Amino acid sequence: MHIIENEYLRVSIADAGAELTSVKTGSIERIWTADPAVWNRHAPILFPFVGKSMDGKYRIGNVEYPMATQHGFARDMGFACIEETPTSVKHELTSSEWTRERYPYDFRLTVLHRVDRNRLFIEWTIENTGARQMYFSIGGHPGFLLPAEIRKEDCFIMFPGCDELHYVSANPAGYAVKDQKTLHLQDSFIRYQEDIPNTWIFEDGQVKEVGIALPDKKPFAILHCDQFPMLAVWANPNGPFICLEPWLGRTDDDGFSGSIEEKKGIQRLKAGEGKVISYSIEFCKYNQLKG
């Protein structure tokens, strides 16, 4: 476990999955605690796929590969810490014989966490270290822990500058349902709704910024994600947290039968090419209620 901090934030990042496991503002924890009875993650990195591959497999050309777990495999792998300062830490994951059996590309994934005032910056560098074109998706999945004295049902999701958004949902099996729905906002806010557990997926770069607001509509946490064409919102009804997820690529459509290059939002890197993408989380001031 690695700790980076400044006068505003104290952040913990694990070598396991290069996962953000804690952000404290003073004594207040802001990241979900990974209670295994509810959801055993904090803020996993989703790579080389976001969401589920149809029936736990995918195809490159005429060759089929297994991908039984959703969100790829990086979240379950040990990363090497390659650089550390008091305010930043950098991790690295490279391809291996084990990864190539499931994902036949050579790659290097570098993850940087950095604090600056009340913001945490997360930067990913994805490199194709092989000799052929590589296909991938990547995404974030931070879970934001709500204050103990505040009910999730009284909180709001805020989409600054938006009056209306279009989204697709994920069904209980985890696959996308193609029918697009409309989310109507009131002054950029919508109250937490119980159908979020089915996941709202906003595509086409509609969302550049999203946040969680408390019952008085004061922001609690804001995700800045203008480099990402997709954004998902998900919550488990049994836990006091909400996930705001910046995505490059997404889960397969229900019934999808195409090959890897036809996956929705799939990314491409030529041999020797790399891509850098980042987002940040602003942890807004919050004074815990007493008594």
- The predicted-structure confidence for 176-219, as pLDDT tens digits, reads as follows 998 889 999 999 999 998 778 789 999 999 999 999 999 999 99
* Torsions phi, psi for 53 (to 5 deg): -90, 135
290 lies in some domain: no
The pLDDT assigned to 290 comes to: 41
267: tokens are 């990314």
Look at the chain and report how many structural domains it folds into. 1
User: Looking at residue 178, what is its pLDDT?
Assistant: 80
Per the rule left: phi > 0, alpha: psi between -120 and 50, beta: everything else, 217 is: left
Q: How far is CA 249 from the centre of its chain?
A: 11
Strands 200-202 and 230-234: antiparallel
Question: What pLDDT sits at residue 68?
Answer: 86
Tell me which residue range forms the domain holding 260: 2-283
Does 69 fall in a domain? yes
Please indicate, yes or no, if residue 226 is contained in any of the structural domains.
yes
Q: Specify which residues 2 forms β-bridges with.
A: 13
Q: Averaged in consecutive runs of 10 residues, what is the pLDDT profile of the chain (291 residues)?
A: 96 98 95 96 97 94 91 96 98 97 97 97 98 97 95 94 94 87 93 86 96 95 97 93 97 94 96 98 77 31
- The pLDDT of residue 252 is 94
- Closest by CA to 147, choosing from 38, 290, 37, 15, is 290
Residues with Cβ within 8 Å of 160's Cβ and at least 6 positions away in sequence, in order, are: 188, 209, 211
Encoded amino acid at 173, one letter = A
d(C-alpha 234, C-alpha 78), whole Å: 26
Q: Which residues of 200-228 are buried (b: 16+ CB within 10 A; e: fewer)?
A: bbbbeebbbbbbbbbeeeebbbbbbbeeb
Q: Cis check for the bond before 48: say yes or no (omega within 30 of 0).
A: yes
Q: What is the DSSP letter of 97?
A: H
pTM score, whole prediction: 0.94
Residue 142 lies in a domain: yes
Q: Tell me the sheet residues that pair with 177.
A: 169
C-alpha distances out from residue 111 to 85, 127, 195, 210, Å: 14, 12, 32, 22
- CA 72 to each of CA 58, 118, 208, 256, 280: distance values in angstroms, whole numbers, following the listed order: 12, 31, 25, 17, 22
Q: How far apart are CA 43 and CA 257, in angstroms?
A: 30
Q: Residue 8: CB partners within 8 Å, gap ≥ 6?
A: 25, 115, 117, 118, 283
- Rounded to a whole number, what is the distance in angstroms from the first to the last CA of the chain? 34
Asked if 137 contacts 249 with a C-beta cutoff of 8 angstroms, the reply is yes
What span, in angstroms and rounded, lies between the C-alpha atoms of 240 and 153?
10
CATH of the domain at 279: 2.70.98.10
Tell me whether residue 251 is in a domain.
Answer: yes
